[in-house]
Structure 1
Amino acid sequence: MPASSNVILYRYSPATLDRETLQYLLVGRQKLAESLLEEIDQASGSGTPRFFLLVGPRGIGKSHLLTLLYQRMHDDLAERIIPVKLAEEEYSIFRASDFFLRILEEMGIGIADVIALEEDRLVRDVAVDMLKGFASTEGKQIAIFVENLHEIFNQMDKREIQALRSIFQQTNTFSVVASAPSVFPGVSDHDEPFYNFFRIFHLLELKCAEVKELMKRVAQVSGNTAFIENFQDYEPTIEALFHLIGGNPRLVILLYETISRGGIDDAGKIFFEMTDEQTPYYQEVFQRLTGQRRLIFDTVLGAETPLTPKEIAERSRLDPATVNAQLRRLERDGYVISHPMGRRTSYEARERLLGLWRAMRRSPGRSRVFRFIEFLRDWYSPDERVAVLDMVCRELSGVAEGENQMVAIASYIATGKRNEALVAIENVEGPFADLDQLMQFVHLCLTLAGEELLDGNRTNGLRLIDIAYTQAGRLEPGLVKKVTVDFLKWIIGEGEIPAIKSAVDEIIRLRGTEFQRFLKPVADAVEIVETNDTKLYSTRMQPEEREIVAGIVQRITGSEELVPEL
């Protein structure tokens, strides 16, 4: 077990952590790390250099992986490899000569005499010869670790980039492991020197199980035993927010820190704190855009669904041709992604959290996100309906007939006497003085309603839903929503669309607009199954909604036929 470390430092500066801690916190990337390490080792023996580019968005773990590979090569492969790691931000590399001078510096080799040569080409050639000579004398290969390669290429003239590639091609001295947030023109355009030069590895987001494992490991490293002991209490919140933040390791650690500081009483508040911390970064994103591009991008971010160019033009009041041209630039530069569907193409933000951050800065968007978080929290929380029914059923023995109305109703339901249960429910006189008894009554009404709907008795089912929600008016709104989600999870699991649709429609009729918005994921899933139309994932939903809706669709149908690749 690694020694206790500062996880806040880890979020932004994994280089400050020791190798053991980095290895322990490497979740979901172990196989890739071993593969890259093995290939670099083989390259040192065969004299065939390797050139790797790790690609993934900010916080995905590129620095973590590069730092760990560097440390492992330094410790385990020092007999064959000289690992050299440049700084995460290199602001002084504008020429190929600058690049190789920095490598000499990192290796502790003096460069004053080389710089004194003044003529740049001579400086470059001498620096390269010094590195080749040193590697040859040692009988080793030099493995160079370069972060933010796109920034270095942006600083260099194309002729300098060509010179850099020529040196890499003409010598077997250097292997390179680099990183960038996306596949950028410097490596993807046909007319660029490094086109098709790097072998590219895309770092994907962690899966939900891996997110939980990473949080436990961070807690272990931080000495936070309370977090590990109470982890079951945190899981519904973690699973709910996973659909919003995804499996970005930096955001996962931020979520861990936020929960550790403030608990899990309010998942919406947790998410607000997380997005608010990203404000300086996202403000910089907008500052990099000017004029029409900023307006178009903000229009895309402000929509509740992906937008077509025509819709963007109408909302932004710009010329359609201008919108189409700017959208192509925004997509090329990694701000938006398109979803072509026949003659219709819709656009949304590439970075999920950026869209959510923008939504949280506006009142309507904030309400939408909070509502969705509330749904997710209830969806992933334990089903209280079953627990309540079990508790009532345990009371069956030893209670005289008629002594306890709830027990009598539960007894009728348990023994299949639905007509008797319906009569007993209709004869119950309210309001209830005891809120626990009221909760039992609502759960029993909805259980019987579900059984009636599933058996095709729509009239009885809707009548029971009406009774349940009439009584539920005395409960806290959050409790009513939790009861509703528990009920619908059960009905959805039975896979009967008519029953699900009837229940959802009746609940919305009784509870109004707030519940229509709250139950949108269920209503969307029902429509996808009814219409067999998977295009609705891209036309009706934001990225964070698709996965949960797809899960509901799969739960209804029992198959992945209507589940898209997310």
Structure 2
Amino acid sequence: MNETLGGIYNPQAIPENEFLGRYSVRLELTDKLLRMILASGAEDDPEHTIVQGQRGQGKSSLLRRIQIALRDNQETCDWLIPLLFREELYGVTSLCRLWEEAATLLCGRPGFEGLPDAIESVWETPHYEKDCYLMLDRALADQGVRLVLLIDNIGDLFGKLKRPEQQRLREILHTTKRIQIVGASTAMLEQHYDHGAPFYQFFREINLPGLSGEEALTLLRHLGTPEQQARMEEVISQTPERIETLRRLTAGVPRTLVLLFEILLDRDGNAFRDLELLLDRVTPLYKHRMDDLPTQQQAIVDAVALGWDALSTGEIARATRLPSKQVAAQLKQLERSNVIHREPTSTKNNLYRLAERFFNIWYLMRHGRPGDRRRALWLVRFLEIWCSPDDLRERAFGHLAMLADALLAPEHAWFMTEALRGAGLDLDTEDRLVKATREYLPEDLRGHLGPSIAELVEERESDLPSDFRPLFDRERMAAMDRPELIEYVTNASKLLDEIVSTMTAIVTPMLGHLERGDLDAESAHLEMLEDLVAPERYDIYPGIVEFRKWMVRRTADIRNSILELNSMLRKFSIRDTVLALAMLRVWGQEFTEAFEMLESRLASLDLDAEASVITLLLTLLLAAEQTAYVRRLFEDEAFAAYRFKDRFKPHYFALLAELGESRADDFKRMGPELAQTVEEIRANVVQWRKSMDRPPDQPVKVPRLEKTGNDKQPSL
């Protein structure tokens, strides 16, 4: 671990020069707030503002930056005084204590030196709070200044004030020109929306969202020492997908990204390890948050966290075995404390999820059942591969080194190996990785790891009859570079699958022509095959050349299927021939046949190994507007055992988006970290749909996809 960054949880503790050097995002919002504060002159009525955002969004840093900017503003510093209060005002339990705190902060300025002592001298008077305020107001008037009270966690402060004190504070703020409040709160102020509350519609509210991808990079570039910044530039240029993966999972919360900074500087890291280390660092914060909740609220948070997607009140009640009315009441409390986020729907049945997404991930990883933890890892894997550049081989060697040093938990080793090989590695590296992982795993997990491509090649050749060996040209393979080698080996294996599968469906009935002596028909078929299939198409595979000679003697119209299937296999690296045929049926709008092929193959299909193919097939079905069937795959009980919804969650929400208003409420269950991914899938669906709508005489143009199923991304 690198040098620890200070002030992660307390920006006021950071030295000012270092703080200003780090402050690199939310600059537009900072300028906006400053303009709002300065818009009212010394004799104008000021506007009061509250910045709302979940923990770690940068509210404290924003207030400190405002304080520094106002302090250093030469045009207003003679009449505008910013007071930055401590982040936690445990001792401020009443309105009079607020005025005392303000006087203490002011006493270092000329003209206010004796103010705290003067207030202290009247503390036993019957109207102490009013006396406090009058003394403060008189001092401000004598000096001709206005205070800008910068109060963090202002919602907690208001919660300590009794209702008469809240009414009194509103009256003061409504009538005085000497005090302006800019506050920050992790919770939405209930009073702002309560007609009967003192502060109803009183403050202007500004919400802080998570950082975008570009903002996250900007923040990380401004952290640490010059040496650390140089190393961070290496990370950004070489493995930017690691930052983007965890930014999406953390919802772009700046504090979490600052914690992530040091972890990202570990050169041998990966997204799984980054996530584990980051979860370790936030465990004290999140554990404290859970321990502070009452028993029923803990049970509700447990149910919502393990559900991952947003749940209704009824669903939470079933999971917790609590009455719905109790659940509804507790949800309101959790919403007020910003633990739970409420997602309104078109009905009275609102949906609820944890407000801080990374808190949910922490809970799944630390407290979820094995299936829940795997669900979070699937998401990491999907996002990492979706954003990955061509550094897979380097990652694989780092993974091999960690396997050799026995630094990984077995489940971690298995998932990372599957993620890397699913994204595409050269044959030698993949073979080494698979064999090393298989050796590393305990006996009960080894069966989950399929063979490498090199092992598959060896198996293929051993399965071929001796008449067709050798399958591969070893001299040709020795001269190939990595992409050519992968294409050569994978296409050969798939071509054999294609031929065998096609023969099963076509050759047997054709043999009937020969048995009946219908030689004219068979000769015509053979002549057509000779015209359409050029021998050089297979001559790079010795075994396939021999196999073709036998095929020509036995079949007549296998040619078209081979061409179509080989095109599909070559373009999308599909291993399973039946799935390829199903895709061709979808492309040709032969949907009934496509559905039958898919369902006949599902029971024996390794959905994880073929995740990239399944995602492409789902994309094609959506493009062909077969939403009813896709919905069956995700929601019908007949397909429940295959867990399509868990494995291919982004495509499920893409389906809901396609269904439109009828499923709008269910679409709102989607976590914000999936929004960008779902939009990318929908864009690919549109591209495919345009290609499918071609005129009959127009050649097929397969769209160029951006990181979808043909990139072999892992399943979710």
Short-chain TM bin: 0.7 to 0.9
Equivalent in the alignment of 1:377: 384
Q: Which amino acid is 1:446 matched to?
A: F
Task: Tell me the SS of whatever aligns to 2:82.
Answer: strand
Cα offset for 1:238? Answer: 1.6
Q: Which amino acid is 2:288 matched to?
A: E
Is 1:318 the counterpart of 2:291 in the alignment?
Answer: no
Cα offset for 1:84? Answer: 1.5
Deviation sequence 1:481-515 (CA, Å, 0-9, x none): 7xx6499679959984489999xx9xxxxxx9599
Distance in 2 between residues matched to 1:159 and 1:532, nearest whole Å: 46
CA contact (8 A) 2:346 2:665 kept: no
CA contact (8 A) 2:317 2:323 kept: yes
CA contact (8 A) 2:47 2:180 kept: yes
Cα offset for 1:16? Answer: 3.4
The verdict on how the C-alpha distance between 1:422 and 1:137 changes in structure 2, with shifts beyond 3 A counting, is farther
Equivalent in the alignment of 2:154: 149
CA contact (8 A) 1:19 1:72 kept: no
The verdict on how the C-alpha distance between 1:458 and 1:428 changes in structure 2, with shifts beyond 3 A counting, is farther
Deviation sequence 1:210-229 (CA, Å, 0-9, x none): 11221122257674302213
Task: Tell me the SS of whatever aligns to 1:172.
Answer: coil
Q: Which amino acid is 2:57 matched to?
A: I
CA contact (8 A) 1:295 1:316 kept: yes
The verdict on how the C-alpha distance between 1:112 and 1:67 changes in structure 2, with shifts beyond 3 A counting, is same
Equivalent in the alignment of 2:681: 552
Which of 162, 166, 170 is 2:167 aligned to? 162
Distance in 1 between residues matched to 2:151 and 2:70, nearest whole Å: 15
Cα offset for 1:180? Answer: 0.9
Which of 48, 52, 56 is 1:55 aligned to? 52
Equivalent in the alignment of 2:82: 83
Equivalent in the alignment of 1:521: 650
Distance in 1 between residues matched to 2:571 and 2:613, nearest whole Å: 13
CA contact (8 A) 1:94 1:156 kept: yes
Larger Rg: 2
Is 1:40 the counterpart of 2:169 in the alignment?
Answer: no
CA contact (8 A) 1:378 1:485 kept: no
Equivalent in the alignment of 2:307: 303
Q: Scaled by the length of structure 2, what TM-score is found?
A: 0.61
Equivalent in the alignment of 2:572: 446
Distance in 1 between residues matched to 2:31 and 2:485, nearest whole Å: 64
Equivalent in the alignment of 1:99: 98
Is 1:136 the counterpart of 2:141 in the alignment?
Answer: yes
Task: Tell me the SS of whatever aligns to 1:144.
Answer: strand
Distance in 2 between residues matched to 1:134 and 1:79, nearest whole Å: 15
Distance in 1 between residues matched to 2:275 and 2:157, nearest whole Å: 34
Cα offset for 1:357? Answer: 1.7
Deviation sequence 1:389-431 (CA, Å, 0-9, x none): xxxxxx99x99xxx999569999x9xxx99769974996759x
Distance in 2 between residues matched to 1:36 and 1:539, nearest whole Å: 31
Question: Any gaps of 5 or more consecutive residues in structure 2?
Answer: 108-112, 393-422, 427-475, 496-530, 545-566, 575-579, 599-604, 634-640, 689-716
Task: Tell me the SS of whatever aligns to 2:6.
Answer: helix
The verdict on how the C-alpha distance between 1:308 and 1:494 changes in structure 2, with shifts beyond 3 A counting, is closer
Deviation sequence 1:151-193 (CA, Å, 0-9, x none): 2222222222333333333321111211111222344433332
Task: Tell me the SS of whatever aligns to 1:142.
Answer: strand
Is 1:233 the counterpart of 2:238 in the alignment?
Answer: yes
Deviation sequence 1:508-533 (CA, Å, 0-9, x none): xxxx9599854442355356537886
Which of 362, 368, 371 is 2:375 aligned to? 368
Distance in 2 between residues matched to 1:353 and 1:45, nearest whole Å: 44
Task: Tell me the SS of whatever aligns to 1:354.
Answer: helix
Q: Scaled by the length of structure 1, what TM-score is found?
A: 0.75
Cα offset for 1:250? Answer: 0.6
CA contact (8 A) 1:219 1:228 kept: no
Is 1:178 the counterpart of 2:175 in the alignment?
Answer: no
CA contact (8 A) 2:222 2:229 kept: no
CA contact (8 A) 1:82 1:142 kept: yes
Q: Which amino acid is 1:364 matched to?
A: G
The verdict on how the C-alpha distance between 1:224 and 1:101 changes in structure 2, with shifts beyond 3 A counting, is same
Distance in 2 between residues matched to 1:78 and 1:161, nearest whole Å: 30
Which structure 2 residues correspond to residues 155-554 of structure 1 after superposition, within 5 A?
155-218=160-223, 223-261=228-266, 263-265=268-270, 267-336=271-340, 337-342=342-347, 344-360=349-365, 361-362=367-368, 363-382=370-389, 424=538, 444=570, 446-447=572-573, 456=588, 485=612, 496-497=623-624, 517-522=646-651, 524-526=653-655, 528-529=657-658, 534-535=663-664, 537-538=666-667, 541-554=670-683
Equivalent in the alignment of 1:469: none
User: How many aligned positions are there?
Assistant: 515
CA RMSD, 1 decimal: 4.8
Cα offset for 1:535? Answer: 3.1
Identity %: 21
The verdict on how the C-alpha distance between 1:487 and 1:71 changes in structure 2, with shifts beyond 3 A counting, is same
Distance in 1 between residues matched to 2:657 and 2:536, nearest whole Å: 33
Cα offset for 1:290? Answer: 2.0
Deviation sequence 1:49-91 (CA, Å, 0-9, x none): 2311111111111111110110111112422312211111112
Cα offset for 1:370? Answer: 0.7
Task: Tell me the SS of whatever aligns to 2:35.
Answer: helix
Select between 134-143 and 29-38 the one with higher mean Cα deviation. Answer: 134-143
Distance in 2 between residues matched to 1:58 and 1:120, nearest whole Å: 40
The verdict on how the C-alpha distance between 1:297 and 1:148 changes in structure 2, with shifts beyond 3 A counting, is same
